Structure 1
Amino acid sequence: MTQVTIDEALKNAVVRLSAAQSDSPSLDAAVLLCHVLDKPRSYLLTWPDRALTEEQLASFDSLISQRSEGQPIAYIVGEREFWSLPLNVSKSTLIPRPDTERLVEVSLELLGTNSGNVLDLGTGTGAIALAIASERSNVNVWGVDLQPEAVELASKNAKKLAISNAKFLCGSWFEPMKQFIDEKFQLIVSNPPYIDEADPHLLQGDVRFEPVTALVADENGLADIRHIASEAKLYLLPKGWVAFEHGYDQGQPVREILSELGYQNITTEKDYAGNDRVSFGQLEK
């Protein structure tokens, strides 16, 4: 069998991924080959003429085929970095995205240096909860998710990252917290389902492969935000905050929901692309 070098394998993969209309064929190919070789990106640049073994080539070919079919890179390699934390991901959870880091930034600003409790609803991989916990060792973070697989995954991520001030519970929104009725929160944060079921983006890109229950909500995508904002008032400390990630066109309706429910100091922050992305409000008393 003719040996194939790293450089040749990458070039062939880029051709296949380009034909499959990947948005980033060169990057995709490099990430997948690094995964197969268990080497950093610099290795590919340093040793372009190194030959791949038959096993490595077969594994790489399989991964390129999966990516050509549209499978998200994060699901293929089982990991995605978020807030500089390497998180394990699975098809039972959303893939953590850079836009969500704005929600973490806002959360940290709202918390300041105070100690206390934070609740992350719909935690998925635990990305938001673990990012906050990693930055605030004096804060106890609780993460809740409806899917047992997600709770198990988030717990494993916490253990892998040696983050001890975050714990995860299974249930629907606030339901698991009823057993901890005395716990009150300085901040309740959520990246809930907020996409309308008729949104054409559900048929595009990585979203096609992500769990629809973590994406779609009734009332034009606002039902879960409304529910959380309403129930949060029972669990927040006086002057506590509730903060949401939402769609680029939902800033105004989310602010209206918070206003109707009596929250104060309501604000919307933009993501790095200049779109409305995070809205929050403060419990008056």
Structure 2
Amino acid sequence: MEAMHASDPRRADVALAAVVDHLRLGGVPQPRVDAELLLAHVLGVSRGRAQALALVGSSLSVAEAARFRELGLRRGAREPLQHLTGVAHFRRIDLAVGPGVFVPRPETEVLVEHVLRLLPAGAGRIVDLGTGSGAIALSVALERPDVEVVGVERSPDALPWTRRNAATVGAPNARIVEGDLADAVPEWEGSVDVVVSNPPYVPDGMVPRDPEVDRFDPAVALYGGADGLDPMRAVVATAERLLRPGGGLAVEHGELQGEAVRALLGHRWVEAATHPDLTGRDRVTTARLR
């Protein structure tokens, strides 16, 4: 093997340092983490193995070095890491994601926790409205195999991802239904234990804080009307139709929308409360139908 110079771009440590610097200049929040994950993806190894290869200055093939550089440039332009690797890690599952489907966020894992708390012991039914990648529905189905789960999605761009993830995860108690949340699952009317949703909630005209969201997430999964809450109103109406008395609702929303979401819940609801995510920002509102 030919000797490699300390500044050779085919050395894993040199290539990694260059991508880290590029991501830092691009304002990527965790440049080293993302660079190591991209290197691991290119090499087909774990992040820990990629770190070890860089530490000892292992060599990359010409193709690997070129691919790593390409992905680094795209991540520096704020293309989501999950689009580049094709995978979003969510609780206990890995989800296939890409253009056309909303990339599930870590804060949504807290929403799943509230769903699990609302579910009764033993068999039950849950409906996930606007399931997208299937992150919520499939996580609940795996963690509560005694519960019947339906994920509802209408986007023709998102549905292929939803169905692919359902097939990969293989939870027999979960099914994906194509349809609008407003008239979802009529056969379960009045018999559902929990309705959950992470609907679009960004007000029209507002630019999302993260470039990854603004530039790459589908608009249909982001924007919710003048105040951002039009889809939430539809979720509440559907929940009132589907839930049994005492059934629970759990919804994700923007950090400043908790009070407005609670105000949407009329006299038919009790125990309305807003809960923080792991960063301390208000993120989830729960309630029970009378």
What TM-score do the two structures reach when normalised by structure 1? 0.93
AA aligned to 1:246 is H
- Alignment deviations for residues 20-43 of structure 1 (CA, whole Å, 9 cap, x no partner): 222222112111110000101121
- Counterpart for residue 62 of structure 2: 54
- Counterpart for residue 142 of structure 1: 150
Aligned 8 A contact 1:144 1:151 in 2: no
**2: CA distance, partners of 1:239 / 1:227:** 20
SS in 2 for 1:149: coil
Q: 1:140 to 1:174 in 2, by over 3 A?
A: farther
Which one of 213, 219, 224 corresponds to residue 212 of structure 1? Answer: 219
Alignment of 1:228 onto 2:235 = yes
Alignment of 1:190 onto 2:197 = yes
Which one of 77, 86, 99 corresponds to residue 85 of structure 2? Answer: 77
Aligned 8 A contact 1:146 1:172 in 2: yes
SS in 1 for 2:244: strand
**2: CA distance, partners of 1:22 / 1:182:** 45
AA aligned to 1:156 is R
1:278 positional shift: 0.8
- Counterpart for residue 87 of structure 1: 95
Aligned 8 A contact 1:230 1:261 in 2: no
- Counterpart for residue 262 of structure 1: 268
Which ranges of 4 or more aligned residues in structure 1 deviate by more than 6 Å? none
1:181 positional shift: 5.3
SS in 2 for 1:148: coil
**2: CA distance, partners of 1:192 / 1:71:** 22
Q: 1:120 to 1:181 in 2, by over 3 A?
A: closer
What TM-score do the two structures reach when normalised by structure 2? 0.91
Aligned 8 A contact 2:181 2:238 in 1: no
Unaligned runs of 5+ in 1: none
**1: CA distance, partners of 2:242 / 2:150:** 13
- Counterpart for residue 64 of structure 1: 72
Alignment of 1:265-276 (within 5 A): 265-276=271-282
- Counterpart for residue 170 of structure 1: 178
The range that moved more, 237-246 or 135-144, is 237-246
- Alignment deviations for residues 172-213 of structure 1 (CA, whole Å, 9 cap, x no partner): 1143423x35673111100000111232326x3211210111
- Counterpart for residue 41 of structure 2: 35
Aligned 8 A contact 1:270 1:278 in 2: yes
Aligned 8 A contact 1:268 1:280 in 2: yes
**1: CA distance, partners of 2:64 / 2:155:** 35
1:261 positional shift: 5.0
The number of residue pairs the alignment matches comes to 281
Unaligned runs of 5+ in 2: none
Give the share of equivalent positions with the same residue, in percent.
33
The CA RMSD over aligned residues, in Å, is: 1.8
SS in 1 for 2:151: strand
AA aligned to 1:84 is R
